[in-house]
Amino acid sequence: MGHPEPFPVKYVAIGNEDCGKENYRGNYLKFYNAIREAYPDIQMISNCDGSSGPLDHPADLYDFHVYTGSRALFSMKNTFDNTSRSGPKAFVSEYAVTGNDAGRGSLLASLAEAAFLTGLEKNSDVVHMASYAPLFINDNDRTWNPDAIVFNSWQQYGTPSYWMQKFFRESSGATIHPITISSSYSGSLAASVITWHDDENSFLRVKVVNFGPDAVSLTFSATGLQGSINALGSTATVLTSGSVMDENSFANPNKVVPVTIELRNASEEMEVTLPPHSLSAFDLALAQSRLVAEM
């Protein structure tokens, strides 16, 4: 495959969306047994969904794909809450909002996808990996919408779904904290809380999706902290736009991009306002972070 020297392969997916086909399980086992014998360290991925019940064949992970409308994907934010904590882990290798809600990469699509990802983040003990699909599209050969990065022979831009994923780039290796939302708007909200670290500091990150058309005011309360929240270095980042169907383009690549401001009033208890149709991340600088977050 163009590699003159050996290279490590950590995972092998056996098939692609083949679980329902007549001979899949029998052929799967032939590959599984042969690969396990020759390469015992390689993790094998089944095409069959194990999120709602146990698989009837051995696997290290199972492949989970979802392409649907924005409301349906938003409602799937709790998909893995009741998944068995034993058995193979999930690899959500393909997810995206599709159809009319997606356009050519809309803000609406990115918000539903963000809500879905908060559920994956909170269930990271059973969701091992996730990847948006597709990643790239040549604007001169659009066979699929939406995509994360659009390019032609000399320029490129990221869709709102690309920028949304940057909100989750610190998720790997982070500590997940419980969160409770008490609001009359709770049906249109999705949230997750993590502690993450850079080279010098620790941060409490609160991510909240407001999927509804109304601005929402919440009081954030962080309890159980072993250190104080430092306003210096605390920020709020918001992804939103004037219309829920707004998109980026070559002519206007930054129409829907995150905007970050300093949080000068950051404290253990503070009021925040979520704009309509928005994804917000509040990064609160911490000394240490052992807490329960309530909203």
The yes-or-no verdict on residue 293 having pLDDT over 60 is: no
Based on the domain organization, do 235 and 206 belong to the same domain?
yes
Query: With helix as H, strand as E and coil as C, how does 91-138 read?
Result: EEEEEEECHHHCCCCEHHHHHHHHHHHHHHHHCCCCEEEECCCCCEEE
User: Tens digit of pLDDT for each residue in 244-255?
Assistant: 999 999 999 999
For position 207, what pLDDT does the model report?
95
Looking at residue 295, its pLDDT comes to 61
- Which pLDDT tens digit goes with each residue over 200-230? 778 888 999 999 999 999 887 766 555 567 7
Please tell me whether residues 17 and 154 are part of one structural domain.
Answer: yes
Evaluate if residue 133 carries a pLDDT over 70: yes
- Regarding whether 271 and 244 lie in a shared domain, the answer is yes
Closest CA to 77 of 168, 191, 203: 191
Indicate whether 92 and 123 sit together in one domain.
yes
Average pLDDT of 167-187? 85
Residue 196 pLDDT level (bands cut at 50, 70, 90): confident
Same domain, 25 and 155: yes
Q: Classify residue 188 by its DSSP letter.
A: G
Does residue 277 lie in a domain region? yes
36 lies in a domain? yes
Of the pLDDT bands very low, low, confident and very high (cuts 50, 70, 90), residue 289 is: very low
User: Is 40 a domain residue?
Assistant: yes
* Domain termination residue (choose one: 105, 133, 166): 166
Question: Which CATH number fits the domain that encloses residue 192?
Answer: 2.60.40.1180
Residue percentage of the chain with pLDDT more than 70: 93
Q: Is position 250 within any domain?
A: yes
Tell me how many domains the chain contains. Answer: 2
Q: Which range scores top for mean pLDDT: 56-65, 162-171, 258-267?
A: 56-65
Q: Global pTM?
A: 0.92
| Domain range for 111 | 11-166
Residues 30 and 142 reside in one and the same domain:
yes
pLDDT of residue 202: 81
Contact indicator for 263, 282 with CB cutoff of 8 Å: yes
Burial pattern 89-112, b for ≥16 Cβ within 10 A else e, equals bbbbbbbbbbeebbbbbbbbbbbb
263 and 240 in one domain?
yes
* Same domain flag for 127 and 189: no
State whether 186 and 154 are in the same domain.
Answer: no
C-alpha to C-alpha distances, 31 to 26, 27, 62, 64, 205, nearest whole angstrom: 9, 7, 15, 20, 42
**pLDDT over threshold 80, residue 66:** yes
pLDDT tens-digit map of 40-49:
999 999 999 9
Confidence class for position 290, pLDDT limits 50, 70, 90: very low
Mean pLDDT over the full length of the chain: 90
In the predicted model, what is the mean pLDDT of residues 75-80? 96
Contacts of 251 (CB under 8 A, 6+ apart): none
Q: Write the CATH number for 144.
A: 3.20.20.80
Q: What is the pLDDT of residues 4-35, one digit of tens each?
A: 998 889 999 999 999 999 999 999 999 999 99
pLDDT tens-digit readout, 90-115: 999 999 999 999 999 999 999 999 99
Residues 154 and 215 in one domain: no
